[in-house]
Amino acid sequence: MHLRLTGKTALVTGASRGIGLATVKALLDEGARVVAAARTITPELRATGATGVAVDLTETEGPARLVERARAELGGLDLLVNNVGGGDADAGWTGGFLDVTEQQWSDAFDVNFFASVRTARVALPHLVEARGAIVNVSSTSARTPHAGPIAYSTAKAALTAFGKALAEEVGPLGVRVNTVSPGPVRTAMWESPGGYGAQLAASVGVPHAQFLEGLPTTAGMVTGRLAEPAEVAALVVYLGSPLAASITGADHVIDGNSVKTV
């Protein structure tokens, strides 16, 4: 499907791996020009040909520096993909509420919520000018908060609510805002030996490989497998395209039906 993105400009955060990297590739395949932001510009990201910008979006001035660089590189901005997030490798993520420190709460909100809020704030004037779009990448943990680390799930719930509220405010200005909420995806969060999946497997006394094999069933995914980053990226890119011109204020779940509620 041709998404009419040729020549359009896009900024993708959290672009060094997983869903972010897949989104960069999908946008480039559709003919968009992309600035890709990450704390570290990985060889995989560099190989895409996107303009990589190394930035820490948890720093107060990081988003403003990033958006100014993107504007200078691209000459404008049609699409912002707020994919930055994580914190899954933090020690204590598999414990209960009293195991989560004040600093972990702060870090979880900085990377999973405030980074996107600040980036959207400084990008919005450019998006209004272009009558563009924002896609925030949240998580099904926002809908089923018991299924993830409490600080992470709460921050993602805030991000989902933020997208809904912002869509109402900026819709009359010609800017669309949507949210994509993936369930378990085949990314480093689950597969890395030091990631959240490995920590969770260790906490229940199951080998990591065995845990991953059983995860789709445990999570209630009727597809019987984890989602692939490219599948999530395809949804993100469609929502950012002119073909989705009437879709705004929506939270699109992509989870193999693990969330059973309406």
3-class state of residue 82 by DSSP: strand
Considering only CA atoms, give the Rg of the chain.
18
| Terminal alpha carbon distance of the chain | 29
Q: 3-class secondary structure for 27-71?
A: HHHCCCEEEEEECCCCHHHHHHCCEEEECCCCCCCHHHHHHHHHH
CATH class of 9-183+229-254: alpha beta
Candidate ranges 113-117, 198-202, 258-262; pick with highest mean pLDDT = 113-117
pLDDT in the model for residue 87: 64
CATH 3.40.50.720 segments of the chain:
9-183+229-254
Mean pLDDT over all residues of the chain? Answer: 95
Q: Which residues pair with 185 in a beta bridge?
A: 227
Q: What is the pLDDT, as a whole number, of residue 147? A: 81
**Which tens digits make up the pLDDT trace of 10-39?**
999 999 999 999 999 999 999 999 999 999
The region of weakest confidence among 110-114, 195-199, 244-248 is 195-199
pLDDT (tens digit per residue) in 126-154? 999 999 999 999 999 999 998 889 999 99
The model's pLDDT over 69-112, given as tens digits with 9 standing for 90+, comes to: 999 999 999 999 999 998 655 556 788 899 999 999 999 999 99
Tens of pLDDT along 156-197? Answer: 999 999 999 999 999 999 999 999 999 999 999 899 998 889
CB 148 within 8 A of CB 100: no
* pTM summary value: 0.96
171 CB neighbour count, 10 Å cutoff: 13
Question: What is the C-alpha to C-alpha distance for residues 220 and 240, in angstroms, rounded to an integer?
Answer: 29
DSSP 201-238: HHHTT--HHHHHHHHHHHTT-TTSSPBPHHHHHHHHHH
The residue count of the chain comes to 262
In this prediction, residue 93 carries a pLDDT of: 76
Residues with a catalytic annotation lie at 152
pLDDT tens by residue, 52-73: 999 999 999 999 999 999 999 9
**Interior CA angle at 224 toward 145 and 252, to 5°?**
45
